Amino acid sequence: MLNNLKTVALMALLTALLMLIGGAIGGQGGALVALVLAAVMNLGSYWFSDKIVIRMYKGQEVTSGPLYEVVRELVQRNNLIMPKVYILPQDTPNAFATGRNPKHAVVAATEGILHLLSREELMGVMAHELSHVRHRDILIGSIAATIAGAISYLAQMGQWALIFGGGDDEEGGGNLIATIVTLIFAPMAAMLVQMAVSRSREFVADRGGAELCGNPQYLASALAKLEQANHQRPMRQVNDATAHMFIVNPLRGAGLQNLFSTHPPVAERIRRLQAMS
């Protein structure tokens, strides 16, 4: 419940940032135009996300085998809709879910995850992904990306307007400085909020996954193994735009880069799962 409230608050903050930068540049009309443009661009990604991402990582659909059987058991046990199941030809263990709704959902795991995890740990991971599907996190992420994208477009429009228009002398220096500050920092703030939305949904999916599989320790143990394996052997050819979809971050960063991470610290995720026990 707390993380759901946090998501709502973060989405409200994104909307406020959009209104702020829209008002600084072109009023409500400018904000609306940017929002529509961002929505059109993100709609295609949202509608065809399953096909785009699976093709990007050369996934192969399976209808039998250990991964499929684990997903089917979880679906039957919890009365869910059976998603399509894919295996990715990657040695590094990881997994993700995508699809615009439960009827068009996809869960995928790399070949490496099948060699690393026990059946119980694999069940914890796939329960986490099914929880993402159940809570429509792909939709939430798409909305957050749309608003953040609109803020970015508005900022770019405003920067070009200042460069070629030179500003309005009647506004006064104070208003001009405030506009410049808004154009610089609003997109950065929007990106941070978008990342925070993603991190918040990971906590929700962890809790939901623990409930679906019936034992928080399954996922806690799996996360520890996955984090270590991804540090030792990072995934090859990862698209930055899809990194947030994976259960553990396939991109490695340190220092300030962690501020922009789409994933919460694995140690904190494990602590919360262990507390559920």
Pairing of strands 84-88, 106-110: parallel
Give backbone dihedrals phi and psi of 61, rounded to 5 degrees, phi first: -70, 140
Number of domains making up the chain: 1
Residue 23 structural domain:
2-276
Question: Which residue bears the tokens 């707390």?
Answer: 2
Task: Say which of 129, 170, 227, 268 is annotated catalytic.
Answer: 129
pTM of the model: 0.74
- Extract the annotated binding site for Zn(2+): 128, 132, 202
- Extract the annotated binding site: 128, 132, 202
The tens-digit pLDDT sequence of the chain (277 residues) is 555 576 667 667 766 666 666 666 666 666 666 667 666 666 666 676 677 788 889 999 999 999 999 999 999 999 999 999 999 999 999 999 988 788 989 999 999 999 999 999 999 999 999 999 998 887 776 666 667 766 776 677 666 666 666 555 444 444 566 666 666 776 777 666 767 777 888 999 999 999 999 999 999 999 999 999 998 888 887 877 677 789 998 876 544 445 557 789 999 999 999 999 7
Closest by Cα among 147, 161, 145 to 32:
147
129 as an active site residue: the answer is yes
Contact 248, 263 (CB under 8 A): yes
